[in-house]
Amino acid sequence: MQHKVSRRMAWLSAAGAAVIVAGLTTLGGPAAEGAASAPAAAPAESGGTRIAYYDQWSIYQNAYYPKNVDALANNVDYLLYDFENVDPTNLTCFENTKASDPDPGGENDPNAGDGAGDAFADYQKSFGSDISVDGTADAFGMPIVGNFHQLQELKARHPNLKVVLSLGGWTYSKYFSDVAASDASRKKFVSSCIDMFIKGNLPSQGGYGGPGTAAGIFDGFDIDWEYPGSTTGHLGNHVSPNDTANYTALLAEFRSELDALGGKHYSLSAALPGGQDKIAKLQTDKIGNYLDFGDAMTYDMHGAWDATGPTNFQDPLYSSPNDPSGTIPPGSEKYTIDSVVKAYTNGDPPYGIPGGFPANKLTLGIPFYYRGWTGVPAGSNHGLYQAASGPSAGKTLSGNVPGVAMYKELSGIVDNPADTFYDPTTQSAWFYDGTNFYGGSSAQSIKARTDYIHCNGLAGAMMFSLYDLDPNSTLFNAVVNGLAASTPNCTTPPPTSPTTPTTPTTPTTPTTPTTPGGGSCSAAAWVATQAYNGGAVVSYNGHSWTAKWWTQGDTPGGSQNVWTDNGVCSGSGTPTTGPPGTCAAAAWVATQAYSGGAVVSYGGHKWTAKWWTQGDTPGGAQNVWTDNGAC
């Protein structure tokens, strides 16, 4: 039974050196006694938050540049740039160009990630005009170049995009236990990370960097500790029984120091483990106090570390009685997405998990890569749950790691309907060409997951990672479209009786009846089939309404709570909430945090927040607030 639920392999080279960084996964943590509980940002409530990882090493053999993200960025809320390492000597954030152990993932070397990093990729690699975001080549004398400068250009073109720095990952989590061990070590580590990556004081290396050279690039931190209190991380990781409380205390320290910066809200997120054995090491009822959102790594549940199978889904949404895999000790459960989500939100007594993590701060992880086996006989279900001769062959862009492949490396299989299968019990996909079996995402399985996000009140989806996308961004578009679509009929989990897998069918888009708009409102009448962005104003049943977030088909005043009621329309269509000339809404306060849809008064007008905001003046250049007119 495999217990490393999030083993992610990635290949990179820096300045001629091969660097392997395996990554993305876990977090969790408890809140230490006495830790100050500064509020995190208001949670996403729409189920439409879109989070995507951009891998540091994408620029090498895969040639996936920040320029490629430019076409997607309007459909990304948070871009997580991964990963930075912990200095093993000083236990601080640092920058270095040094290869990690070059065997696949460094699995047999407990020191694989010690001192490793890629400052060259971060801020020393020059980009030509052909691969830069804005089409201009890096020039001599620039303070920084590399990915960091490209992220600057990306943010300039997409001012609503939040870019967040991710710390840790599979290979770089060794020293998290040490940095979290005491109040002094936590303060030292967090302040070093803020100094380097928020204040932008990069070390001068290779003719680049220096004080303030990276200021303004990153909007917060993402903590990928794999895994607090657990020995199932990378070989050699430091683990302590105090990790559970110390992890929460580390998150609290990040939240406190980020808040102390002032000026704006800096986000704090975490990649959260996908398996009850690891979730049990976290204080799920406390860590949500410090996080803007947590990304559950609901994938890597099965893979070719079980070299001879049986084959299985990478990310089963629900359990199946046909699943031949073992249970997760010390309980009797198996790996499924639903059990992971319920453990975080509702708790899981057999594993001692208290639950309590807010559903509307939890995102569901969707993989853009595949786990595979070869030598798989068809059996009765197109290779599902069959023995194998070994892992599928390694692919070049995936670092030649056996058992791992990208969508674009599986052309003719994952994009071939004849090789694509879907199980209605687990609501999961697999791909089988007669010999090779791959578990991973399809359009149909992604739609099932976005429906699950909506029906369970989750924040949205985390995508790992953009590195794996094909030129058409097939899987990315499926996630974005699924999050944007309505899910009018939420159902209970499917029956657990044995079912026969089916080939996928194209999901149909439900229709909603249109409803007449209201009376004398001057705002356009709400139309059920029209898509509205956050801040859009419509009229419906004699009232004016403002959208809190992206919506389509959600009736104003309905149970979805998508629309803010601005009150009965006046003859001019201006919402009225009090006597003429007065503003009934509370006055805007610069230091107060507001969620999307919040209504305030300022300058004699009424305003509605389009998204989470703090310190952004209504009517200012930030365009955060919708002007609902004079009070």
- What pLDDT sits at residue 27? 27
Confidence of residue 612 (pLDDT cuts 50, 70, 90): low
Residue 279, pLDDT > 90, answer yes
- 68 compared with 11, residue with greater pLDDT: 68
Task: Please give the single-letter amino acid code of residue 322.
Answer: N
Topology at the third CATH level for domain 531-568: Seminal Fluid Protein  PDC-109 (Domain B) (2.10.10)
- Taking the C-alpha atoms of residue 136 and residue 138, their distance in angstroms, rounded to an integer, is 7
- Taking the C-alpha atoms of residue 70 and residue 76, their distance in angstroms, rounded to an integer, is 10
- What pLDDT sits at residue 492? 54
Residue 136, pLDDT > 80, answer yes
Compute φ and ψ for 408, nearest 5 degrees: -70, -15
- Taking the C-alpha atoms of residue 459 and residue 552, their distance in angstroms, rounded to an integer, is 17
Annotated domain spans of the chain: 49-367+442-484, 531-568, 593-630
- What pLDDT sits at residue 609? 77
pLDDT in tens, 359-368: 999 999 999 9
- Taking the C-alpha atoms of residue 556 and residue 539, their distance in angstroms, rounded to an integer, is 9
Strands 625-630, 605-609: pairing kind: antiparallel
pLDDT in tens, 178-232: 999 999 999 999 999 999 999 999 999 999 999 999 999 999 999 999 999 999 9
Distances (CA, A) of 65 to 102, 134, 151: 23, 12, 10
DSSP assignment string, 277-304: HHHTTS-TTTGGGT-SEEEE----SS-T
Average pLDDT over residues 309-323: 97
Average pLDDT over residues 327-344: 96
The matching CATH number, chosen from 2.102.10.10, 3.40.50.1100, 3.30.1330.50, 3.20.20.80, for 49-367+442-484 is 3.20.20.80
Average pLDDT over residues 420-440: 98
CB 267 within 8 A of CB 361: no
Question: Minimum mean pLDDT among 111-125, 255-269, 551-565: which range?
Answer: 551-565
Confidence of residue 452 (pLDDT cuts 50, 70, 90): very high
Average pLDDT over residues 17-31: 28
Q: How many CB atoms lie within 10 A of CB 416?
A: 12
pLDDT in tens, 43-95: 334 689 999 999 999 999 999 999 999 999 999 999 999 999 999 999 999 99
- State both tokens at 460: 């949205």
Closest CA to 26 of 334, 270, 336, 353: 270
CB 485 within 8 A of CB 512: no
- Taking the C-alpha atoms of residue 523 and residue 541, their distance in angstroms, rounded to an integer, is 12
Average pLDDT over residues 379-383: 97
- What pLDDT sits at residue 2? 35
Residues in the chain: 631
Assign 309 to helix, strand or coil.
Answer: coil
DSSP conformational letter for 195: I
Strands 78-84, 49-55: pairing kind: parallel
Strands 531-532, 428-432: pairing kind: unpaired
Residue 534, pLDDT > 80, answer no
